[in-house]
Amino acid sequence: MTFSSNQNSRRKFIKSTALAGTAMSLVSPSMLFGETKAEKIRLAFIGTGERGRGQLSVALYRDDVEITALADPNAEVLNKAAKMVEERQGNKPALYGNGDYDYKKLLERDDVDAVYIATPWVWHVPMGVDAMRAGKAVAMEVSGATDLQECWDLVNVQEETGTPFMFMENVNYRRDVMAVMNMVREGLFGEMIHLEGGYQHDLRGVKFNDGKSPYGQGVKFGDEGYSESKWRTNHSVHRNAELYPTHGLGPVATTVNVNRGNRFEYLTSMATKSRGLHEYIVNHPNGGKDHPNAKVNFRLGDVVTTLIKTANGETITLNHDTNLPRPYSLGFRYQGTKGLWMDINDSLYVEGVSEPHRWTDDKAFMEKYDHPLWKKYGKQAATAGHGGMDFFVMHAFIEAWKRKAPMPLDVYDAASWMAVTCLSEESISKGSEPVQFPDFTRGKWINRKPIFAFDDSY
């Protein structure tokens, strides 16, 4: 995926457009979707790197999807995706690879109902805005926002056009997270008080990847990098913020009904010193203290902690930790007046049920409160990307589009979750001062009703 990550060029592009207006297993699609009307969605992908091709694989094994077009300026990944489509559908999709903006020609096609955007972060909003203005439903991959205007651009254009828009946060569909959401909804933990989530993932091998050395053996990024290291690492150079908030925030936000009877009011953020990426380069066999990248000043603190206050009184803690050696964990914690669940030890505590002051293994509770969606599609989804989560987020988008139903993760969710990045950046720069959240719903949150995953429909 090599869309330009030049920030100045991209912001000029946003302004001009605003002014102008992992493969899934080979299960039978009929087994998965036979109960749904046969109407097809004609879907195009903008961005065919690893993430784009992963979701393309999920889409290709549905009998209610036709892939009609692909866009990516990187000929290598574009051709890989085209081959996937040709092998599955028997025909080659239209290809758009003539530079960063060739995707705009894709949006002019009459045989595209919707687009899936899986590009570098800085392109998500302008592409989403363009697609909505062109009348194409949008499935947009997750990221943090560059500034608040991006968030307002998404909201304003969606409200203006009425074009369907879904924020593709797959962790909302993680099996244990959905089971715990059921526990919360059924009152197992009492009234919710505090929640935690995060993105705690050693990404040094992703941020320094030359595409030639084995994974974790490179120390290059930017123009010399490969895949995400071409663009993602530069965010760590230039920004000190909660760069990737939505995996940890999305599930807890829907659990406490943010934007639907609740909202984020303000946050405060704090960042540690930055040492991890520099030491990785200096101590790496392919790096060293004299390597050019050892002179780079990485602004991103190794651990960024953000605390959010909601209108209904809950607090939410987010942790961003991607520059240090550690196992992967999203660090979820759901705590109420009667008990709590934590994913770090796969345990919970329920007053009057658990042995006092001792954790209870959550296995029996996970089985009891397993979400109907997982009961219905779990076997088929299990081998899709990210442990099946990719199946469910794609399924939700396509089913909502076909039924002309509201998207379960909508533009207000996207705006409020993405805004955490630029708001945390502001808070850190001001000595961890509290920063207010805009109300992207313009007051509609008071009367909007929760809709996410209340049955097994989508």
Return the minimum-mean-pLDDT range out of 50-54, 227-231, 306-310: 227-231
Radius of gyration of the chain (CA): 22
* Whether the Cβ atoms of residue 413 and residue 434 lie closer than 8 Å to each other: no
pLDDT of residue 27: 34
Round to whole Å and give the CA distance between 180 and 331. 14
**pTM reported for the whole predicted model:** 0.90
Burial of 132 (0-12, 13-18, 19+ CB in 10 A): buried
**58 residue type, one letter:** V
Neighbours of 65 (CB within 10 A): 22
**Helix/strand/coil for 170:** helix
- pLDDT score, position 3: 59
Q: Does the structure show a pLDDT above 60 at 35? A: no
Dig out the tokens for 121 from the structure. Answer: 């972060």
Name beta bridge partners: 44. Answer: 69, 115
The model's pLDDT over 382-424, given as tens digits with 9 standing for 90+, comes to 778 778 899 999 999 999 999 999 999 999 999 999 999 999 9
Helix (H) or strand (E) holding 279: helix 276-283
Number of residues written out for the chain: 458
Q: Which domains are present in the chain? A: 41-167 (3.40.50.720), 171-372+410-446 (3.30.360.10)
How confident is the prediction for the chain on average, in pLDDT?
A: 91
* φ, ψ for residue 380, nearest 5 deg: -70, -35
Is 297 exposed, middle or buried (CB count within 10 Å of its CB: 0-12, 13-18, 19+)?
exposed
Residue 332 has pLDDT above 60, yes or no: yes
Question: Cβ distance 152 to 415 under 8 Å?
Answer: yes
pLDDT at 215: 59
Q: DSSP letter for 33, please.
A: H
What does the buried/exposed string (b/e) look like for 398-407 if buried means 16 or more CB atoms within 10 Å of the residue's CB? Answer: bbbbbeeeeb
